[in-house]
Amino acid sequence: MIDLEKDIKFVKGVGPNRATLLNKLGIYNLKDLITYFPREHEDRGKPKTIAELEDGQEALICAYPVARMNEVRIRGNLTLCKLIVRDETGTMQITWYNQSYLKNTFKPNERYKFFGKVSKKYGKAEMQSPVYELEFSNKNTGKIICNVKKYDLQLRQMKDTEKRDKYKVYGELINTYGYGVEAGAKSMKALNYYTNETIIIPLDNTLTPQENSQKYFDK
């Protein structure tokens, strides 16, 4: 008999690393995994205006950023990224957590499509961590998409975010401790003050510590 309460990390083919990503989606056991998808398909082909959005629905909108993304550090390693967008009917706020690499992604003079779950507070619509792309791209929107793709996309975005966050930490640590690195070194040991662990940071031995730091920030 299948144990639906079995910890997801012990399911064949998952393992501890993938389990960490699944936990971020609210999936902790086999039952969570089986029941994760609320329905089979999502219709991302029919955009709505901001004024038409309803609380709790998943919707596609086309909108322009009003200004550059605003990044706010809430506490510790938690960063809130806020983007205000507008269409011909109104404005709404879109937020992401710990995705600082998006800061320079959205340009006010370009129109984007956003697909995600809507929440309304005091008559104002909001979205958290939506799927996004340029208006005329149809890679992730503009069609009916199976939820399995949404799940895979979320995992890929989480992996990308974790990788970018790791590189950002590498850049910061090189700036902090790089003065002691010998010329030509291929790596350096540093205390990660976020986790209080000592880590090894790979270096390009043809670059200065400052250049290595910038290389990680640019990834």
Would you say the pTM of this structure is higher than 0.75? no
The answer to whether residue 148 sits within a structural domain is no
pLDDT in tens, 2-40: 677 888 887 777 777 777 777 877 788 877 776 665 444
Q: Are strands 70-75 and 90-97 parallel, antiparallel or unpaired?
A: unpaired
The answer to whether residue 50 sits within a structural domain is yes
**Confidence (pLDDT) at 137:** 80
Number of structural domains (the chain) is 3
The answer to whether residue 149 sits within a structural domain is no
Given a contact cutoff of 8 angstroms between Cβ atoms, the answer to whether 36 and 27 are in contact is: yes
Check residues 27 and 171 and name the one with the higher pLDDT. Answer: 171
Both tokens assigned to 49: 């205006």
Task: Report CA-CA distances (Å) from 26 to 29, 37, 81, 151.
Answer: 9, 12, 21, 12
Helix axes 147-177, 209-217, angle to 10 degrees: 160
Domain boundary at 142, 176, 194, which? 142
Q: 127 has which bridge partners? A: 94, 118
Same domain (yes/no): 53, 127 = yes
Q: Give the integer Cα–Cα distance in Å for 129 and 116.
A: 7
Output phi, psi for 202, to 5 deg: -65, 140
Q: What is the mean pLDDT of residues 162-166?
A: 82
Q: Which domain holds residue 117?
A: 41-142
